[in-house]
Amino acid sequence: MKCPRCESPELRKNGRRNGQQRYQCKACGKQFLAPTTTQALPTALGDAVEFDRNGHSEPAPALSAPEASAPSAPGIAILLLDAENLKLDIKTEKFLASLCSSPLQVKIAFANWRNPSLGKLDAELHERGYQLVHVPEGKNSADAKMIAVGSSLFLHYPNVKELFVCSSDGLLTHLCTHLQNLGLTVYRARTKNKTLTVENRRSGELKHYSLTVEAEIPSFEGFVKQVEELIQAEHNSLTERIAQFSAISALFQERRNLTLNASRSNDSPAIAPEATSLAPPPEKEPAPPAAQDADVELNVSAAAPPLPTRSIQSKEEFEGALLEIIESLHLNNPLEKVSVSTLSSEVHKLCGETANSIIKKFKLGGNLTKFLKASPALTLALNATPSTVAVAASLSSKISTREQLEQALVRIVSSLSAKSPGSYLCISNIGSEFQKEYGQPLIKTMRQLGLGSKFPQFLQSCSAFKVEKKGKGYQVALA
């Protein structure tokens, strides 16, 4: 038997009253009568007996029907934190609150708040609604205070249902066991290697939380489920993009037969004189003078373009193709001048692509007009209507034999390698220098002499040169 006030077992008998033994507490002096039943503590066990200050007993007033049927208060959750051992930020605290079914209403933190290593942690926890309990400096001082306060929490908060014990110290296992025996659901939170592990002491379930990533670490089944969700989301995204691409492709296929003229008429009122390469206007509907001054006009008709008959691989080949077209047109109509638009149309027929596209591919200039101006083998007349082009006069004597061609190439190679004798030169540089001196492409000269159109093979057949292949190109030096 204990004192009902201080629960001290040190009692002494203090006479009898109305046949009942009376006792007095040696610690606090409380006088009380011996209980007649085993229900000694009315607040803890729901007894119907109340004791007055002098030890007299009176029956408790009977509860009325509404009061007897009143519902009990909803359960709450309490968090006990050893602030010297474990740090909880707001996100980690929300993770803990998500594990319990009752609302987390009471939070108590224990530490020696004078310790400078804690910094301003007390002010931060106070702002977050923690009750701060100060303990003196000493080993396990905060743990001992947590045990003392935690073991009597149900007296101050009779509606507590769940409780978190946040500390990695093994000493607090006694507190967890005591609270669990009182019927509470106890969660033990510990940290190791930047991971917070929370154990439900009743069910044995473990939850893991990464303090680095600030997210819950899922189980293997949860991980597999999250991966499946990510794969499904990516699949849906790809499906949507493929559908969008298909719609754009169908729109392009539907509109690919429209002429570029129609598109430009909606975008800009006029075309610059040196815009792009254009086909000649039909004879039945002659174009106005402003349109005739334009250099080129691309007209993609519904009919498929002719198959390409020649593949242009360099500036020299493109210039040689232009010279051949001009000479071919002069053979058919010696008195008729070749316009830029006619030349562009013939290039499209011969090569299967427009002159401007070839120029842009090899970065030879902005458009056909600029290329013709810069070419020494061609002469451009801009003052005529429309603009015309012709083959330029030869800048040097004409080569008529294989020996003369070989001698000219030896001289060019010797001149280009004067600063470093015996060094290899790119054959494209030799072709460019030959065109500057003789006013026509080297390939055209070879064809005129019946030597074919493969310059590397011609050089290999000459004893005066050494030819090596470097990657996709060839280099030459004097033997």
pLDDT in tens, 287-317: 444 444 444 344 433 444 444 467 787 887 8
200 burial (CB, 10 Å; 0-12 / 13-18 / 19+) is middle
> How far is it, in rounded angstroms, from Cα 132 to Cα 126?
7
pLDDT of residue 417: 77
Q: What is the DSSP string of 293-339?
A: TSSB-----SSPPPPP-----SHHHHHHHHHHHHHHHHHH-TTSPEE
The total of other beta-carbon atoms located within 10 Å of residue 42's CB is 15
Question: 427-438 vs 315-332: helix axis angle to the nearest 10?
Answer: 40
Q: What is the 3-state secondary structure (H, E, C) of 233-266?
A: HHHHHHHHHHHHHHHHHHHHHHHCCCCHHHHHHH
Residue type, 259: T
Is residue 19 over pLDDT 80? no
Secondary structure class of 1 (helix, strand, coil): coil
Going by pLDDT thresholds of 50, 70 and 90, the confidence category of residue 21 is: confident
H or E element, residue 288: none
Residues contacting residue 149 through CB under 8 Å, at least 6 positions apart: 80, 108, 110, 133
> How far is it, in rounded angstroms, from Cα 423 to Cα 430?
13
The pTM of this model reads 0.36
List phi, psi (to 5°) of 14: -135, 50
pLDDT of residue 304: 44
pLDDT of residue 211: 82
Q: Are 172 and 82 in contact (CB under 8 A)?
A: yes
> How far is it, in rounded angstroms, from Cα 476 to Cα 442?
15
Q: Are 439 and 432 in contact (CB under 8 A)?
A: no
Q: Which of 125-129, 380-384, 427-431 has the highest mean pLDDT?
A: 125-129
> How far is it, in rounded angstroms, from Cα 472 to Cα 479?
22
Average pLDDT of the chain?
Answer: 76
Is residue 467 over pLDDT 50? yes
H or E element, residue 350: helix 340-351
Mean pLDDT of 400-429: 80
Q: Which two tokens stand for residue 372?
A: 């013709």
User: Of the given ranges (89-103, 214-228, 388-402), which has the lowest mean pLDDT?
Assistant: 388-402
pLDDT of residue 255: 72
